Amino acid sequence: MKNIFLIGLPSSGKTTLGKQLARHIRYRFVDTDVLIVKEEDMSINEIFKTKGEAYFREAEARVLRAIRPDSKLIVATGGGMPCFHGNMEYIKANGISVFLNVRPEQIVERMLRHETNDRPLYQKNDHQLLSNLQQKHKERLPIYSQADWVLEGEDIHIRQLIEVLQEAME
């Protein structure tokens, strides 16, 4: 069975919905950021601080390409992963992609509710957080929109994701 890749901005629901979906359809769930942290033996913030964003983007590409096709995985990608090193093309060639398109205003609300802040490009205390997310959304939309399926809204529900995937797998 094909892997399913969830893409979108940070805090768009990729991990939360991915875990629910994996339980529902009996797939395994993986988060590429967690795989990178494990591989590098340091947090994403530390990777950005010590090795830089370019190194992190290369690590994303390595981790993505290490995922075996047809492994019955739900893969939550990092927010920027599809945008570098031909990763979106790789995702589309090796699974079903679903873009969770959540408005930046809603994402800011979610980020502010999170206990931890492990997003090096988006700091909760940044007065430009909303405008930074709006800019990233605008920049990444042409790539994200290449996904096989797009789900939009403030509260994308697991039922919507299941319906889309049933249609995709028919």
Write out the residue range of the structural domain in which residue 27 sits: 3-162
What does the alpha-carbon distance between residue 79 and residue 7 come to, in Å, rounded to a whole number? 7
- Residue 99 is assigned to a structural domain of this protein: yes
Residue 167 resides in a domain:
no
Structural domains of the chain, count: 1
In a domain, residue 21? The reply is: yes
Confidence of residue 163 (pLDDT cuts 50, 70, 90): confident
d(CA 110, CA 137): 16
- Does residue 49 form part of some domain? yes
* 169 within some domain: no
| CATH code, 55 | 3.40.50.300
Q: Does residue 149 register a pLDDT over 80? A: yes
| pLDDT tens per residue across span 68-113 | 999 999 999 999 999 999 999 999 999 999 999 999 999 888 777 7
pTM greater than the 0.95 cutoff? no
Contacts 24+ apart (CB under 8 A), 46-49: 48/120, 48/121, 49/120
